[in-house]
Structure 1
Amino acid sequence: MSTPFRYTEPTPPRSATGRVADVYEQISRDFGIERPPTFVVLSSAPEILVPAWALLRESLIAGAGDRTGKELAALGVSLTNKCPFCVDAHTMLLHATGDHALAERLARGERPKDEEHARVLDWGRATRVPGTDPMPYPFPREHAPAYLGTALVFHFINRVVSALLTEQLLPWNAQRLRAVRSVAGRAVGRSVRRRAVPGAALSLLDDPGPAPAWTAGTCVGPAYAALRSAARGSHRAASGDADLLDAEDRGLVREALRSWDGSHPPLALDGVPDRRERPAARLAILAALAPYRITDEDVAAWRRPEHTDRCPVRVVAYGAFAAVDRIESALPLPATGETART
């Protein structure tokens, strides 16, 4: 039987233990979806899975603001990142919020009728370009931590999904049928519309480190800091093994992201290392800039017999967060009188 997973074979969720089992329990309760491939694919590297879930939960699900608005922001991010799996998922989740007409307009590629909805969608799209001025926000200023957290976590998740999953959200792409979208959305509607208590995912985290000031003391801050710490360190392999990305590889990734302007790379992949020379750097850079361009040949050139399923997850996570880091670090300074960001 075919699976949605590329390059890994995650352990079945029913066999999960420890923090992975705790994450699945929260996902089932708060996300309303049993064993979503989006998170199952990360389960081979629990140190990445846990903070990725925490950031999504504390921003999209439990963070301040309207769920429809945050789904629109996440959809805008997914559209600009060319992630059809996530585009389809957010379209179905808009059905779950009860906004059926809006969901179907977007499924047809049309703009929302409501101008506020359209502005939020455009804002989500614009976040791919580092340094884009997000002000004035198309949502209340006090909701910014949740909206920014939502955008940043989906910049990460889009890249993981595009690299490590197929494009089929449901078997035979059934989500492309209006009736299936509607039924699937309604099935999780109760969970989506239920108010989640902020902070429940934070107990799953190790010491996350300092949170950026834009999180404004919300639960989004520790979750973001934990994902940042885990992803930045994901170039390391298991204890005693060589790094998955050596110092030169990491330097190439930093160089590729330093001047990145949010554009998608050309067909010739100018500036991306050759897979025969620096396969790890190539894989991480593609994960950052164009994960949908990762091929079987790219993975085969990098992977070694000693590489477990944890290894491709960590290399992809390193590259994916390099893009998030570039976007987050280029967030414009707030206006005079607002709290400065770190």
Structure 2
Amino acid sequence: MAGRFRYVTPVRARDATGRTARVYAQVADDFGMARMPVFRTLSPAPDVLAATWAVLRESLLAGDAPRSAKEVVALGVSMANRCPFCVDAHTTLLHATGDHRLAEVVAGGGTPDDPFHAALLAWARDGGPAPDPAAEYLGTALAFHFINRMVSALLTEDLLPAGLQRSRLVRSAGGRALAGAVRREPPAGASLPLVEGLPARSEPAWAAGTPLGAAYAVLRAVTEAGGELLSAAARAAVLDTVSGWDGTHPPTNRAWLNGPLAPLDAEDRAGTRLALLVALAPYRVTDADVVAWRGARPDEDVVRLFAFAAITATTALEPRLAATMPYLGGRS
């Protein structure tokens, strides 16, 4: 298990206390998995952990939209972001909904037979108009734009040893094992006590007045605070670069970083480089990138800087995604 984690040592379940212990307990109850690496890797920063879980729970697990359709969104976004860990995980979870053919068609890069699923996948993976205005679909998409970046930077690609999760038989068997938990309908809002007392931004218009809106407002606040780990000049360079981003993957070389880094002092460049990589190409973060910035910083700071970068990218994408939702009219 320890080999899955990069740059941080997660809090073990038996050692967890307070907010972290309560999040771990709810993840086990509602997801049916007691040791989810995605959440364990965030545990050095309990507020980031709780807010990330709350957004995921209130978008993907709770609500009225079908779980299978939301898993299609999670898969589509994870494919767009080149996050194989999340693609494998949510292929298994789509199997758990009982729609085994849909899971394998999507995982194989095909087009679902059902026109609604096909349109939803195209929206999540390729852009274009959304086929349904449900806030849960937009919330799920934004949750995975954030989570994919954290996973790609902080976890290895393999969900199971030796990449066994890429076997259709293993994915199908894993889905059957999780079917009971996935097919339950957890009540909306049960995650909000886990983020009680944490700072919050204003709720987004697309989910205002809902548990999802409240959770997302907290996620914005606790993750944006990680920008304070950078100097004002470095933080501005990250925000300005991401605000001008066109949503595509940057070139494979690193020449695209030269412009944002050029005006900065040498001591600011390492943190800016790392944050921009996490925001725009997290699968390209290297050990050397982390070491150059980290020094003696604790695991908590690593999670917080990465979360700042991930939410910066997610926030940049939010109005573009919201504009495709018929009832939002471009508001976010």
TM tier relative to shorter chain:
over 0.9
3-state SS, counterpart of residue 210 of structure 2: coil
Q: Within 5 Å, which residues of 2 pair with 1:68-107? A: 68-107=68-107
3-state SS, counterpart of residue 60 of structure 2: helix
Q: Within 5 Å, which residues of 2 pair with 1:108-187? A: 108-126=108-126, 134=129, 137-139=130-132, 141=133, 144-187=134-177
In structure 2, relative to structure 1, the CA distance for the partners of 1:338 and 1:145 (3 Å cut) is closer
Q: Does 1:268 align with 2:260?
A: no
The structure that is helix-richer by fraction is 2
Q: Does 1:228 align with 2:220?
A: yes
Task: String of CA shifts for 1:38-64, please: whole Å, max 9, x gaps.
Answer: 000000111111110000000110022
Separation of aligned partners in 2, 1:332 and 1:338: 7
Q: Does 1:280 align with 2:265?
A: no
Aligned residue for 2:316? 326
Q: Does 1:313 align with 2:303?
A: yes
Q: 1:295 aligns with which of 283, 286, 297?
A: 286
Separation of aligned partners in 1, 2:324 and 2:175: 38
Aligned residue for 1:53? 53
Give the deviation of 1:232 after TM superposition. 0.7
Letter aligned with residue 227 of structure 1: L
Separation of aligned partners in 2, 1:270 and 1:97: 44
Stretch of structure 1 that moved more, 110-119 or 285-294: 110-119
In structure 2, relative to structure 1, the CA distance for the partners of 1:315 and 1:209 (3 Å cut) is closer
Task: String of CA shifts for 1:46-84, please: whole Å, max 9, x gaps.
Answer: 111111000000011002201010000111100000000
With normalisation by structure 1, the TM-score equals 0.89
3-state SS, counterpart of residue 3 of structure 2: coil
| Contact 2:85–2:158 (Cα < 8 Å) also in 1 | yes
Separation of aligned partners in 2, 1:220 and 1:320: 19
Give the deviation of 1:340 after TM superposition. 7.8
Separation of aligned partners in 2, 1:302 and 1:161: 19
Separation of aligned partners in 1, 2:221 and 2:30: 25
Separation of aligned partners in 2, 1:57 and 1:29: 11
Aligned residue for 1:130? none
| Contact 2:206–2:328 (Cα < 8 Å) also in 1 | no
Aligned residue for 1:246? 231
Q: 2:209 aligns with which of 196, 217, 220?
A: 217
Separation of aligned partners in 2, 1:21 and 1:177: 33
Give the deviation of 1:5 after TM superposition. 0.4
| Contact 1:213–1:339 (Cα < 8 Å) also in 2 | no
Give the deviation of 1:90 after TM superposition. 0.7
In structure 2, relative to structure 1, the CA distance for the partners of 1:338 and 1:163 (3 Å cut) is closer
| Contact 1:6–1:166 (Cα < 8 Å) also in 2 | yes
**Identical aligned residues as a percent:** 50
Gaps of 5+ in 2: none
Give the deviation of 1:102 after TM superposition. 1.2
Task: String of CA shifts for 1:265-298, please: whole Å, max 9, x gaps.
Answer: 1022233256966010111111110000101111
In structure 2, relative to structure 1, the CA distance for the partners of 1:33 and 1:2 (3 Å cut) is closer
Q: How many residues align?
A: 323
Q: Does 1:196 align with 2:186?
A: yes
Task: String of CA shifts for 1:131-151, please: whole Å, max 9, x gaps.
Answer: xx64xx313x3xx21111100
3-state SS, counterpart of residue 168 of structure 1: coil
Letter aligned with residue 200 of structure 1: A
Letter aligned with residue 217 of structure 1: G
CA RMSD of aligned residues (A): 2.0
Gaps of 5+ in 1: 128-132, 237-243
